Structure 1
Amino acid sequence: MLKIALPKGRIAKETLNAFSQIFGGSFEFEDRKLKLVKDDFEFLMVRNQDIDTYVMGGAADLGVVGLDVLEEHGSDVLRLLDLDLGHCKVCVGTIGGEQIDYNKTSELRVATSLDNITQKYFSAKAVPVKIIHLYGSVELAPLVNLADCIVDIVETGDTMRQNGLAPCEEIMKSSAYLIANKLSFVSKKAEILEIYSKLEALIKARN
């Protein structure tokens, strides 16, 4: 039996819908349950930021998680397939979308929950930064002068706009990836490659 960790929300629904299409039948979690067992699959409903931990630890053979999470965590997993779901961007945001004048600051204060992506991005630009780690509501930080800018995930941009901010630089694009535990890929290679092939064919047909 293959164990597959899915993030809560829209991506989980879209992934289960894909499994319904390629294997037939209905794949749906019952209300508030975190496990779904059907045929040769066991799906686990997991917080998005924890998906790669479950896969790396062997609690799940496969997982579906955003590329931004993989980059932030430096996850030691196999990235098998871009599922073309959950598209978003990681952007630098400022009040009004104003461009940052890097020549006028000795240290840029950046509010974010994506510490590693942020540090890597600004280090590549040779810009000294002070990272202010926040778990949420990062848009508030520049408004109260806690930070000069933010680095955050942007889907529609509505949250930034409603708080007077806008993206000024794009760091990376992200979408949901199918990932695998390295040992599972060896011990359950045939089953995993079957899923890979069917999902890849579905994505090509959809596009």
Structure 2
Amino acid sequence: MRFVLPKGRLLSGSLEILKKAGIRLETPKNRELIVKNGGYELLLARSFDVPVYVEHGIDVGIAGSDVVEERGSDVLVPLELPFGKCRLSLAMPKDNVVDVEEMDGFRIATKYPNLTKRFFEKKGIEVEVIKLHGSIELAPRIGIADAIVDIVETGNTLKANNLIEIEKIMDVSALLLVNRISQKTKFEEVNKLVLKIKEVIKNGS
């Protein structure tokens, strides 16, 4: 069975929950990207790529619901996992706050162009979405955007950059993803894994 896990903030929680479900995976060393663990294979990827890998053939993955929604990948999501909790929010400079309804023509910087467009379209507001990959909070400070849409955990990064949360777009948590074909061809194995993880969540351990 092949697993793909996201580098970064969800990695330790992902390894931990799999370990408690009886699957011990060693992470790749020395810049390797794939490592064999007995009958398992582990691939580490950028969080935004995890749903794409699962859609196109990797058996099981873990990714944030923000990434799964943004990508719109065709994967099975049998479980929400009890870590990676945060939210996707709209934020603006503290000294330049307006109501969302007044944001027509605003420029919004984000790693989540699809979710951002959907959010504003629902409200009937036209904005220009600027896709960035790095530190989104910089965009309003250097004047290339009026507001940002980004992940908020503690709110400390926003505060440090003189930004204030205006509206929550969605709650975010880690999700277990399963490839649709693997779910059929490796049904027993996949099912057993899902049940074990369910048990781990239920026992809160």
TM-score w.r.t. the length of structure 2 is 0.91
Q: Alpha carbons of 1:30 and 1:142: their partners in 2 closer, same or farther (altered >3 Å)?
A: closer
RMSD of equivalent CA atoms: 1.9
Q: List aligned pairs for 1:70-81, cutoff 5 A.
A: 70-81=68-79
Give the length in aligned residue pairs.
204
For structure 2, the residue ranges without an aligned partner over 5 or more in a row are none
Q: Alpha carbons of 1:201 and 1:97: their partners in 2 closer, same or farther (altered >3 Å)?
A: farther
Code of the residue aligned with 1:118 in structure 2: it is: T
Alignment identity in percent?
Answer: 36
Distance in 1 of aligned mates of 2:43 and 2:98: 42
Q: List aligned pairs for 1:1-207, cutoff 5 A.
A: 2-23=1-22, 26-32=24-30, 33-58=32-57, 60-96=58-94, 99-102=97-100, 104-206=102-204
For structure 1, the residue ranges without an aligned partner over 5 or more in a row are none
Aligned 8 A contact 2:55 2:75 in 1: yes
Q: CA deviation at 1:200?
A: 0.7
Distance in 2 of aligned mates of 1:103 and 1:205: 44
Deviation per CA, 1:140-164, whole angstroms, max 9, x where unpaired?
Answer: 2222332211101112222211111
Q: Alpha carbons of 1:98 and 1:18: their partners in 2 closer, same or farther (altered >3 Å)?
A: same
Code of the residue aligned with 1:51 in structure 2: it is: V
Distance in 2 of aligned mates of 1:77 and 1:109: 32
Aligned 8 A contact 1:97 1:167 in 2: no
